[in-house]
Structure 1
Amino acid sequence: MSTDTGNDARQQWKTWREERTETVCAPYGPLSLTGTYWLADATEGRFPAIPGHWTEDGDAVLLTATAADGLTVDGRPLNGEVRLGVDKGPAAAARVDYGGRKILVLRREGLWAVRVFDPGSAGRRAFTAIDAFEYDEDWVLPGVFRPYDGSRRVQVENADGRERGLGLDGELTFTAAGSAFALQVAVEVDGTLWAVFADGTSGDTSYRFRFLRTPAPGVDGRVAVDFNHALLPPCAFADHFICPFPPPGNTLPIAVPAGERRVLVG
């Protein structure tokens, strides 16, 4: 890599880090998540942290509330009931608001839940920075994506202690430290690749696992694997996320001293 190209890549990485910090500490970013509540665990449709009566209603969640509860839906006070589907956008765009807190509806493997994002969360107030390894151009590696004949689904433990299915579409192969490795990856809607991985730094000099995203592979499967952009998973920022742990085979037997390391708090 030429000096100019290396400097450009380093500057792009610095810009990415700045944008990443802005995203995670935004009012309704991951640091603001204060709870994930499953309807299956609700006592008579009630949650301790939010008002209203929440029940499953076929392909939606039925929310019933009075004006005194202080909930708004689409900017209007709720006094009655409303059916809510999955919130597919960011938390800031969630339909339900409770005193500035956004309540987002989600569904995982047929189970409904609601999440509460509070701009005044303790996590958001305590956050100071995302610690990261220094940029290292040696961790920008040529890779090849090899799709499976069909998508696979494996059961993996999640950060909340439950096992859930993780969809996998192929293997991303690359060479590092003189050895060949492969990560099982999923193909996103836009064609980019996503992996959950751990390595020799995990739980030591970095968080216990990380995410890796790459551009969409070319028609020949070739793609750049840039570990400098390895991401902390959402559960590194708030305990209430349900991030999947690495699937079998995605724990690399080498240290990868590149990418995000841990969340720093004051």
Structure 2
Amino acid sequence: MSSSDHTPEAAQNPQAAAQDWQRWHERRVETVSSAYGPLSLTGTHWLADHPDGRIDGVPGRWRDAGAEVLLSAEEADGISVDGEPLVGEVSLGPDRGPIPASRVSAGERRLAVLTREGLWAVRDFDPHSPARRAFKGIEARGHEPAWVLPGRFVPYEEHRTVQVENADGRTRGLGLAGRIVFAHEGAEHALHVAVEGDGSLWAVFADAGSGRSSYRFRFLRPAAPGADGTVTVDFNRSLLPPCAFADHFICPFPPPGNTLPFTVPVGELNKL
């Protein structure tokens, strides 16, 4: 369930809103703790760091061939591609679907091919990961109507890309399409956002409590703006980024201007 999955009753009835939020929270815990959720990621291996194609702990030989990845395997590697054992070589593109549908598997593990800014990587998802076994839940604060704020989306004249540090310590481009503007305690604030393929918005933000009362940054995913630009800014649906659950994700940090001067004490706060 996305952060925009609000029922019509919830928009009008505080009790319905609280129940709607509780269903959203329970669905999030289920998704995060699922066999191939973010807790199962045990490594993101950039092929540029492995020029010989050998990755410690990952079977097969993985080579950057420019426009594709070449994977070669022997029977002893135990690799399957599209459900069939691989002995020989195959060309791979990036996996864009759900992790369970990744083309390459090794037993229960899923080896997903990733590309970022022309660089190739292999992600290793293991349902028996230590992080998944240790997971106890998500610390979150229940729905508070005061943190559902009316806002408006102001698009840029043209999309822009800003360079931001990522969780793995590298700097990468983050595409942005506009701002959501809203008021809090009588002052106007804004968050720079991207527009997703379905028209919904995505913000990476921090606040005055980040790194103390909550994780160091979070995501917010408002539904697509109305025809007049109106948008609901529901901080109750603030999300922990994937890197809060596994160290091997490359989540972008908030872009300049996306650190709010007040604490947002609602939504997902930390992993338990």
What TM-score bracket applies, with the shorter chain setting the length?
over 0.9
Match of 1:180 in 2: 188
CA distance in 1, matches of 2:63, 2:17: 50
Match of 1:260 in 2: 268
Determine which of 79, 84, 99 is the counterpart of 1:76.
84
Match of 1:219 in 2: 227
CA distance in 2, matches of 1:4, 1:77: 54
1:116 to 2:120 alignment: no
Determine which of 228, 248, 254 is the counterpart of 1:240.
248
1:98 to 2:106 alignment: yes
Mark the CA change 1:45 to 1:200 in structure 2 (over 3 Å): closer, same or farther.
same
Counting aligned pairs with the same residue, the percent is 61
CA distance in 1, matches of 2:271, 2:11: 31
CA distance in 1, matches of 2:232, 2:59: 48
Determine which of 6, 13, 18 is the counterpart of 1:5.
13
Match of 2:25 in 1: 17
**1:102-251, aligned counterparts within 5 Å?**
102-251=110-259
Residue 2 of structure 1 deviates from its aligned partner by 9.7
Residue 133 of structure 1 deviates from its aligned partner by 1.7
Please tell me the root mean square deviation across aligned C-alpha atoms, in Å: 1.3
Mark the CA change 1:3 to 1:98 in structure 2 (over 3 Å): closer, same or farther.
closer
Give the residue type in structure 1 aligned to 2:114: L
TM-score of the two chains, using structure 2 as the length reference: 0.95
SS of residue matched to 2:13? helix
TM-score of the two chains, using structure 1 as the length reference: 0.97
SS of residue matched to 1:218? coil
Alignment gaps of 5+ in structure 2 = 1-8
Give the residue type in structure 2 aligned to 1:184: H
CA distance in 2, matches of 1:3, 1:252: 25
Mark the CA change 1:3 to 1:37 in structure 2 (over 3 Å): closer, same or farther.
closer
SS of residue matched to 1:16? helix
**1:29-68, aligned counterparts within 5 Å?**
29-68=37-76
CA distance in 2, matches of 1:4, 1:113: 46
Give the residue type in structure 1 aligned to 2:162: V
Give the residue type in structure 1 aligned to 2:203: A
Give the residue type in structure 2 aligned to 1:64: S
Residue 58 of structure 1 deviates from its aligned partner by 3.0
Deviation per CA, 1:121-176: give whole Å up to 9, x if none: 00000001100123211000000000000100000000000000000000100001
SS of residue matched to 1:125? helix
Residue 43 of structure 1 deviates from its aligned partner by 4.0
SS of residue matched to 1:194? strand
Alignment gaps of 5+ in structure 1 = none
Match of 1:27 in 2: 35
Give the residue type in structure 2 aligned to 1:53: R
Give the residue type in structure 2 aligned to 1:70: G
CA distance in 2, matches of 1:22, 1:171: 31
Residue 178 of structure 1 deviates from its aligned partner by 1.9
Q: Retained in 1: the 8 A contact 2:102–2:112?
A: yes
CA distance in 2, matches of 1:7, 1:55: 55
After the TM superposition, list the runs of 4 or more consecutive aligned residues in structure 1 that deviate by more than 3 angstroms: 1-4
Give the residue type in structure 2 aligned to 1:177: E
Residue 90 of structure 1 deviates from its aligned partner by 1.2
Match of 2:94 in 1: 86
Once the two structures are overlaid, the 10-residue window that deviates more, 131-140 or 22-31, is: 131-140
CA distance in 2, matches of 1:89, 1:52: 22
